[in-house]
Amino acid sequence: MAGLDGCVVQEPDAARVAATRDRLVTSEEATRLAELFRLLGDPTRARLLYALLEAGELCVCDLADAVEVTDTAVSHALRLLRTAGIVASRRAGRMIYYRLADAHVRMLLDLSREHLRETI
């Protein structure tokens, strides 16, 4: 008898398996996706991203006040997010303003929040 997560019959469907393998992400893509989700998996970074989603663009001190963490923690988080291409920045004189990098990041955040609300 197979468990709930097992197969009753150990005869894989070769055609379905082959078709699935053809559409799978590559090992490199899977590694990059895991790194992306690891970055998003930190509560402070997640709150920073949602602050940028709501505000559009903020400087470090405004982000720090919004999410109630230190400027240093915000700067460190933004450095990681910028390096990963999740946020972008622009300089205005001595100020640097941060925003979400593109619509894909916005969509990912929106869908993630929607999913959370459905599972609660």
Residue 74's domain is classified under what CATH number?
1.10.10.10
Any domain includes 69: yes
Q: For position 2, what pLDDT does the model report? A: 52
Any domain includes 37: no
Amino acid sitting at position 35: E
When divided into structural domains, the chain yields a total of: 1
**Among positive and negative, which fits the CA dihedral 56, 115, 67, 60?**
negative
* Cβ atoms of 23 and 59 closer than 8 Å: no
Look over the chain and give the mean of its residue pLDDT values, rounded to a whole number.
Answer: 92
Any domain includes 4: no
Coil, strand or helix at 7: coil
Question: Domain containing 86: what range?
Answer: 44-119
pLDDT at 6 over 80: no
pLDDT digit string, tens, across residues 25-74: 999 999 999 999 999 999 999 999 999 999 999 999 999 999 999 999 99
